[in-house]
Amino acid sequence: MDVRARYLARIGSHNELEAMGNRIAELPENPLILGGGSNILFTKNVDGWVFKNEISGMEIIGEDNDHVYVKTGAGENWHRFVLFCIENNLAGAENLSLIPGNTGASPMQNIGAYGVELKDIFYELEAWHIKDKAWVKFSNADCHFGYRESVFKKKYKGQFIISSVTFKLDKKPVFHISYGAIEQELEKMGVRELNIRSIADAVIRIRSSKLPDPALIGNAGSFFKNPEITDLQFDELKKKYPGIVGYTLPDNKVKLAAGWMIEQAGWKGFREGNAGCHEKQALVLVNYGHATGTDIFNLSEKILKDVSEKFGVLMEREVNIY
């Protein structure tokens, strides 16, 4: 997106963040905190400060009988962290391979893929409270993780800047291969002895075949969340749409496949000017050239409205809108 910030500051270390944090508190309004920028749609210029988190680094800081604890700078690339885990034979993050963005954003969104969520490997994070000018630690429970949700998306939105995230990885792997096409991909790869590297390779191959590379074509990955409905609602929908895709959840709920509904509504491969719905994955909205943020946002509005009218299901955007 061709947008500009009036002011930009880059944060490169924990100490730099604290020094800048004292200045941030004096600003008339909170700045926009930006990580990798892979999950935000800009519909306008930023008429104020953008603070870009570039705190990098990864280190093993401890272990117990079953786990190893890895601390990363919040500006560290997520996939680089996953590869670090695989190289050190630390299990838990392999299903989250090739997700774009930085580690600091991962708890905000509670990122997830192929049956695994960030909360499954999260231990704690350290963040700077903008108004109080103080460091605060958040445990797994403190974050109140939900489906693509955490306290940082609503309750504490714009109030903290995450400095570091510590992850709890398993010494003995528990493989998650039943979700999506991982099993089939492992068969195609001829994998006989399952390990975290082969699962990561399978996930990378699947993602690469389905999802467009953001470096080649503008996109933010999955644009919409998979909506959750009651099992009674799902039974009613199944009568009308026998092929509808849903995953059983606790508490008599079912998670619907948003991509399936968008595709059934005829949007897969749709293009309007330079804004479109990807030809291989209906969940992904793409910028084919010089589409504006408003173009992409308006397309998402049309899709939300159409799916609601066709299926009676309200979907939500996964991408943050500015």
Q: What's residue 143's pLDDT?
A: 98
- Catalytic (active site) residue 308: no
pLDDT, tens only, 49-100:
999 999 999 999 999 999 999 999 999 999 999 999 999 999 999 999 999 9
Mean pLDDT value of segment 249-265 = 95
What number is the average pLDDT over the span 239-252?
93
Structure tokens of 150?
A: 């955490």
Concerning whether 318 is annotated as a catalytic residue, the answer is: yes
Residue 30 has pLDDT above 90, yes or no: no
Average pLDDT over every residue of 105-125: 96
- Tell me: pLDDT of 31 over 90: no
- Taking the C-alpha atoms of residue 137 and residue 119, their distance in angstroms, rounded to an integer, is 16
Position 228 scores a pLDDT of 95
Report the C-alpha gap between 235 and 254 in whole angstroms: 10
Position 239 scores a pLDDT of 96
Q: Report the pLDDT value the prediction gives residue 69, as an integer from 0 to 100.
A: 98
Provide the whole-model pTM: 0.87
Instruction: Please report the pLDDT score of residue 79 as a whole number.
Output: 97
Which of 106, 163, 222, 300 is the catalytic position? 222
The H or E element containing residue 97 is: none
222 carries an active-site annotation: yes
Burial profile 106-129: b = 16 or more Cβ within 10 angstroms, e = fewer = bbbbbbbbbebbbbbbbbbbbbbe
Phi-psi region of 132 (alpha: psi -120 to 50; beta: other; left: phi over 0): alpha
Which region among 25-34, 36-45, 305-314 has the lowest average model confidence (pLDDT)? Answer: 25-34
Closest CA relative to residue 162, chosen from 11, 22, 322, 319: 11
- What's the CATH architecture for 218-321? Alpha-Beta Complex (3.90)
Q: What's domain 1-210's architecture?
A: 2-Layer Sandwich (3.30)
CA distance 277 to 106: 25
Where do the structural domains in the chain lie, given as residue ranges? 1-210, 218-321
User: Which among 148, 205, 207, 317 is annotated as catalytic?
Assistant: 148
Average pLDDT, the chain: 94
pLDDT, position 158: 87
pLDDT value of position 23: 82
38-42, 179-183, 248-252, 299-303: segment of lowest average pLDDT: 179-183
